[in-house]
Amino acid sequence: MTNPSQPVRSARRQRVTKETRIEARVVLDGQGKAEVSTGIGFLDHMITTLARHGRMDIELSCQGDLHIDDHHTAEDCAIVLGSCIDDCLGDRGGITRFGSAYAPLDEALSRAVIDFSGRPWPCVDLGLQRESIGTLACENIPHFLNSLAIAARATLHVDVLRGENDHHRAESAFKAVALAVRDAVARTASDDVPSTKGVLA
């Protein structure tokens, strides 16, 4: 539950290029609400999953060059969301910093470990076999998580440990990431930056 004496952490971002036009708002101290429209159904589903299980409120709309393919939309949405999270965290004082979680979905099981270290380092292995899930190319699912971590300036390790259905594998991975993020951004009793260096950059 959010402490009423503390400001709600929220951020807005806009990204306009020749490939995409995106507007987004993220409230870290939210209720898991999502209003997402990217033009890619499965991507909407995954971002909604991040919001719901991360207890973030996410508003995101994207008009992308889907007549070309889904790559720019997936990548740029991740960049904008990651940048919003980075903005919400500020100097990263008073947060837990580290988070980890396992999330199952039927036969699939995923693990996510995150460190809001200020040093982006994604390592994502989902082991997807299908060419696409809906209209989202499977190669762009780990790419979304990679881009999210880089823009959020986080170290992120995501592994699907088992699973036969690629939809289940991907969704369990996003659920694990959401849970890990929720733990890592949780506020502590101290406003200190959680680093021996005194900064997270």
Q: What is the mean pLDDT of residues 78-100?
A: 96
- The 10 Å Cβ neighbour count of residue 49 is 21
pLDDT-based confidence at 4, cuts 50/70/90?
low
Mean pLDDT of the chain: 94
Closest to 121 (Cα-Cα) out of 161, 162, 149, 163:
149
Q: What is the mean pLDDT of residues 159-170?
A: 98
pLDDT digits (tens, 9 = 90+) for 11-29: 999 999 999 999 999 999 9
Q: What is the mean pLDDT of residues 77-98?
A: 96
| Distances, alpha carbon 14 to alpha carbons 61, 177, 179, in Å | 10, 24, 26
Q: Find the largest Cα–Cα distance for the chain.
A: 49
With a pLDDT cut of 90, the percent of the chain lying above it is 88
pLDDT digits (tens, 9 = 90+) for 185-201: 999 987 776 655 666 56
Tell me the CATH number for domain 10-184: 3.30.230.40
Predicted pLDDT of residue 1: 44
Per domain, the residue ranges of the chain are 10-184
pLDDT digits (tens, 9 = 90+) for 103-120: 999 999 999 999 999 999
